[in-house]
Structure 1
Amino acid sequence: MQISKDELLKKANAASKNTLMETLEIEIVDFTEETLTARMPVTPKVHQPDGVLHGGATAALAESVGSFASHIFINTEEFFVRGLEITANHIKSVTKGYIYAKASFLHRGRTTQLIDIRVTDEDDNLVSICRLSTITLPKKK
């Protein structure tokens, strides 16, 4: 029996219970064979003291969606994924609404992955551009 896209999204979001993703209210909202998209509300809890979105919260969203994208393409019984490095260039300030992070692979190797993450606002304006490298490692038996 094939599982629906809605059921897959529900299952993916349930995996975020009691994590930073839940704390920041990050929700996976879409995926294709090539991309994974998540959103995060921009509220005072993710603001800098001057009332704009904190770059660290944006980076946390980007690393979450990028790592999750790497994770869903591996055999989780035998392997796990860890982030190696993330870079973020912040382009535009946001004070409210939602931001969306869309992860797509630049390289999808057996051991290392390089993911491009475009963070946009609700009007599809570029907020940040991020790059994440991840590594897939075997679980100890």
Structure 2
Amino acid sequence: MKIEIAEMRAREKLSSLLSKSMTSGFDKKLNLTYLEVRSARVHATVSVDGTLHQPAGIVHGGVMASIVEAVGSAGGYAWLIDRGSEDIFVGTTNTTDFLKSTSDGVLEAIGEPIHQGKRSQVWRIEIKQIETGATICVGTLRGQNIPSRQRG
């Protein structure tokens, strides 16, 4: 019973953080919506509009890199919460390879861990355009698990 309550509290904490980010944080500016956030998989969508375009009329590369960062960070944090940790996960290296441009529609991002360790995690994120199924970019986010005692 204690374990179930702890897991429920951990899920509520994650849900609260994601909800806040989607309603008033940077994720809102990206039009990012989390559909699933687990320690082994993150699924999110982004509705593309003109606010995400560069001057040439296509989605800005920084938007794609930001989606990689957001999705990988959500998964990294979910993994820490699932372990009962008070640590936080922060991205330290974001590598995003752009394969195809897009200017509209809905993007789907799927993130999965490559490595989850005591001090670091590495996540791979693939972003596709839902309407065509085309892979738009692939990114890797390396991050550090920061112990709560080191924050401040």
In the alignment, what sits opposite 2:146? 137
Code of the aligned partner of 1:139: S
2:123 alignment partner, SS class: strand
The answer to whether the Cα contact below 8 Å between 1:86 and 1:131 also exists between their aligned partners in 2 is yes
Q: CA deviation at 1:59?
A: 0.7
The answer to whether the Cα contact below 8 Å between 1:105 and 1:113 also exists between their aligned partners in 2 is yes
Code of the aligned partner of 1:136: N
Code of the aligned partner of 2:147: P
1:73 aligns with 2:82: no
Unaligned 5+ segments in structure 1 are none
Moved more, 17-26 or 83-92: 17-26
* Structure showing greater Rg: 2
Q: Which of 101, 122, 125 is 1:93 aligned to? A: 101
Code of the aligned partner of 1:70: G
TM-score by length of 2: 0.80
TM-score by length of 1: 0.86
The answer to whether the Cα contact below 8 Å between 2:39 and 2:78 also exists between their aligned partners in 1 is no
Q: Give the Cα–Cα distance (whole angstroms) in 2 for the partners of residues 102 and 38 of structure 1.
A: 7
Q: Give the Cα–Cα distance (whole angstroms) in 2 for the partners of residues 49 and 96 of structure 1.
A: 14
Q: CA deviation at 1:105?
A: 0.5
1:140 alignment partner, SS class: helix
In the alignment, what sits opposite 2:33? 27
The answer to whether the Cα contact below 8 Å between 2:113 and 2:122 also exists between their aligned partners in 1 is yes
- Tell me how large the CA RMSD over aligned residues is: 2.4
Instruction: Tell me: CA distance 1:32–1:14, structure 2 relative to 1, closer, same or farther (3 Å).
Output: closer
Instruction: Tell me: CA distance 1:84–1:77, structure 2 relative to 1, closer, same or farther (3 Å).
Output: same
Please list, as runs of the form range in 1=range in 2, the aligned pairs for 1:88-127 lying within 5 A after superposition: 88-122=96-130, 123-127=132-136
Structure 1 residues 15-43: Cα deviation after superposition (integer angstroms, max 9, x where no partner): 31321101211110124552101111111
Higher helix share: 2
Runs of 4 or more above 2 Å deviation? 7-13, 30-34, 75-78
